């Protein structure tokens, strides 16, 4: 292991040479593998290099398509970027299942995003409240240059509220700020507004008489957006007569009963809920990645929402009433279709094009549907054939690739496992037998 100063100033070849010498000396093919993933188009490679820092290569994920999604009467083929076997196949299967049953219905409940100015104040609360009320308009006027273009698109600052948190942390207050960012995810816009709020707060406080008398002034700690956006909500659902859930009435009723019980288990049992929601995020993250959005922000906000009532719970819910099966999801999704990678990454632009160049609200709906479809497919498998039967058949190719199976071996393995259970050890035994 070796320490280095000025690594960022090295050229890309120099970075690779240093990494190879100090960390990959026992990996003779390291440089070949790193360069193997460079794009031959120098302009495109330079674009990728500038997405982040200290780049040495590109890390590829498969981009797939899940077709046949009927959403609010329109058909979509949804792009999904993901490496996990069976996710796209499962989503596609769910889409086809609901295609002749009315498809997916969606509704955006809200699009409000949130940020805070976190600050300390040791003085009288009433003085701070009076200061805030007399200066609230200045927070808005002093961000006018930042909000001008956003307001032209129909967005901007919605409100600023002073929150007293001193019961939870000594001297701690916040400006709770809400925003509408229309088709932009809006992180840079929100953070720019918040930092100006912080500057205005401290500047105006220096001349406020009640503070000056006691020489006690607000002290800004930080200004930052929140990835928890419980008012930026979307709902997606499917419904049909119970009789359409199976080939016979008995089969349909049994499926509805077991499916409903599986969802209720996820509603009350956190151990199950975490895995249940992870499956939902398989679909959601894949669309978020394909469309150039921040899946880490989405994950954090969604899981916080799943625990909003004090216990982590399912994001999906089900009812069976008057012989109608209804299955839905409600979750926060702060997405954008302009700005960031959406205007830079060629495959992101292509993915958004495949979706008809959606607005942020439309993308919220499509993404929620992908999560609901994924969950329906997963729970369907769990309460019928079991999750491993389909998953391991999809995983078979990964195992064969791991052991560098040739075309003949792959064909024989696929044929063999049509009637046998796929396990890692069973695949190895079959390959050894074929090779002997």
Strand 233-241 to 105-108 pairing: antiparallel
pLDDT in the model for residue 425? 87
How many whole angstroms separate alpha carbon 317 and alpha carbon 195?
A: 40
Rounded to the nearest 10°, the torsion over CA 282, 283, 285, 291 is 150
User: Which residue's entry shows tokens 């031959």?
Assistant: 40
Instruction: Choose, from 35, 148, 278, 433, the residue flagged as catalytic.
Output: 278
Which among 298, 296, 297, 302 is positioned nearest to 314, based on CA atoms?
302
3-state DSSP call for residue 415?
A: helix
pLDDT in the model for residue 413? 87
Q: What average pLDDT does range 194-222 have in this prediction?
A: 97
Residue 315 contacts residue 280 (beta carbons within 8 Å): yes
How many whole angstroms separate alpha carbon 349 and alpha carbon 165?
A: 43
How many whole angstroms separate alpha carbon 127 and alpha carbon 132?
A: 9
pLDDT beyond 80 at 148: yes
Q: What average pLDDT does range 209-215 have in this prediction?
A: 95
How far are the Cα atoms of 4, 146, 294, 360 from residue 156, in angstroms, in the given order? Answer: 45, 9, 21, 15
How many whole angstroms separate alpha carbon 176 and alpha carbon 132?
A: 12
Burial annotation 152-184 (CB, 10 A radius, 16+ → b, else e): eeebbbeebebeeeeeeeeebbbbbbbbbbbbb
**pLDDT tens-digit map of 250-303:** 999 999 999 999 999 999 999 999 999 999 999 999 999 999 999 999 999 999
pLDDT beyond 70 at 223: yes
pLDDT beyond 60 at 391: no
Say how many Å lie between the first and final Cα of the chain, rounded. Answer: 42
User: Number of H helices and number of E strands within the chain?
Assistant: 16, 10
Q: What average pLDDT does range 158-176 have in this prediction?
A: 98
Q: What average pLDDT does range 102-127 have in this prediction?
A: 98
pLDDT beyond 60 at 15: yes
Q: Is 391 a catalytic residue?
A: yes
pLDDT in the model for residue 412? 87
pLDDT beyond 90 at 38: yes
How many whole angstroms separate alpha carbon 204 and alpha carbon 184?
A: 31
How many whole angstroms separate alpha carbon 117 and alpha carbon 139?
A: 12
Over 250-309, what HEC string results? HHHHHHHHHHHHHHHHHHHCHHHHHHHHHHHHHHHHHHHHHCCCCHHHHHHHHHHHHCCC
**pLDDT tens-digit map of 53-75:** 999 999 999 999 999 999 999 99
How far are the Cα atoms of 142, 228, 230 from residue 175, in angstroms, in the given order? Answer: 15, 16, 17
Crossing angle of the two packed helices 270-290 and 360-383, in degrees rounded to 10: 140
pLDDT beyond 60 at 390: no
pLDDT band at 35 (very low <50, low <70, confident <90, very high): very high
DSSP secondary structure string for all residues of 120-174: E--S-HHHHHHHHHHHHHHHHHTTHHHHHHHHHTT-EEEEEEEEE-TTTSTTEEE
Q: Is 278 a catalytic residue?
A: yes
Q: What average pLDDT does range 362-389 have in this prediction?
A: 91
Percentages of the chain per state (helix, strand, coil), in multiples of 5: 50, 20, 30
pLDDT in the model for residue 220? 98
pLDDT band at 421 (very low <50, low <70, confident <90, very high): confident
Instruction: Choose, from 84, 127, 151, 231, the residue flagged as catalytic.
Output: 84
Instruction: Choose, from 113, 116, 391, 395, the residue flagged as catalytic.
Output: 391
pLDDT beyond 90 at 388: no
pLDDT band at 430 (very low <50, low <70, confident <90, very high): confident
Degrees, nearest 5: CA angle 183-186-190: 145
How many whole angstroms separate alpha carbon 384 and alpha carbon 117?
A: 50
Q: Is 395 a catalytic residue?
A: no
Instruction: Choose, from 276, 294, 361, 365, the residue flagged as catalytic.
Output: 294
Strand 233-241 to 316-321 pairing: unpaired
User: Which residue's entry shows tokens 């997606």?
Assistant: 236
How many whole angstroms separate alpha carbon 33 and alpha carbon 204?
A: 57
3-state DSSP call for residue 370?
A: helix
DSSP secondary structure string for all residues of 17-38: HHHHHHT-TT-TTHHHHHHHTS
């Amino acid at each position: 292991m070796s320490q280095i100063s000025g690594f960022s100033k090295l050229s890309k070849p120099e970075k690779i040479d240093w990494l190879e010498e100090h960390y990959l000396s026992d990996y003779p093919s390291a440089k070949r593998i790193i360069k193997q993933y460079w794009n031959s188009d120098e302009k495109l490679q330079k674009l990728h290099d500038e997405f982040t820092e200290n780049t040495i290569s590109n890390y590829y994920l498969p981009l797939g398509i899940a077709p046949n999604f009927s959403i609010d009467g329109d058909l979509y083929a949804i792009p999904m970027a993901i490496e996990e076997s069976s996710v796209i196949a499962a989503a596609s299967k769910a889409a086809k299942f609901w295609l002749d049953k009315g498809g997916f219905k969606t509704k955006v409940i809200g699009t409000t995003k949130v940020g805070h100015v976190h600050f300390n104040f040791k003085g009288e609360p009433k003085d701070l409240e009076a200061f805030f009320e007399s200066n609230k308009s200045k927070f808005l006027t002093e961000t006018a240059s930042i909000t001008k273009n956003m307001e032209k698109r129909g967005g901007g600052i919605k409100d600023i509220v002073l929150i007293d948190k001193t019961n939870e942390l000594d001297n701690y207050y916040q400006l709770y700020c809400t925003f509408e960012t229309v088709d932009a995810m809006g992180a840079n816009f929100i953070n720019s507004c918040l930092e100006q709020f912080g500057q205005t707060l401290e500047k105006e406080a220096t001349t406020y008489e009640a503070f000056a008398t006691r020489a006690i002034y607000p002290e800004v700690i930080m200004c930052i957006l929140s990835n928890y956006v419980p008012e930026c909500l979307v709902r997606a659902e499917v419904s049909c007569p119970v009789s359409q859930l199976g080939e016979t009435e008995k089969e349909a009723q049994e499926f509805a009963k077991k499916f409903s019980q599986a969802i209720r288990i996820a509603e009350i049992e956190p151990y199950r809920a975490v895995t249940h929601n992870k499956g939902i995020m398989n679909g959601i993250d894949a669309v978020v990645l394909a469309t150039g959005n921040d899946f880490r922000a989405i994950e954090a906000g969604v899981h916080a929402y799943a625990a909003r009532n004090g216990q982590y719970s399912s994001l999906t819910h089900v009812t069976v009433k008057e012989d109608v099966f209804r299955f839905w999801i409600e979750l926060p999704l702060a997405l954008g279709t302009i700005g960031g990678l959406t205007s830079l990454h060629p495959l992101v632009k292509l993915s958004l094009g495949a979706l008809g160049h959606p607005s942020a609200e439309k993308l919220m709906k499509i993404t929620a549907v992908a999560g609901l479809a994924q969950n329906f497919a997963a729970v369907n498998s769990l309460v019928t054939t079991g999750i491993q039967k389909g998953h391991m058949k999809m995983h078979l190719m990964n195992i064969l690739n791991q052991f560098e199976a040739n075309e003949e071996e792959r064909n024989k393995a696929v044929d063999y496992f049509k009637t046998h259970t796929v396990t890692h050890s069973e695949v190895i035994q079959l390959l050894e037998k074929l090779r002997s």
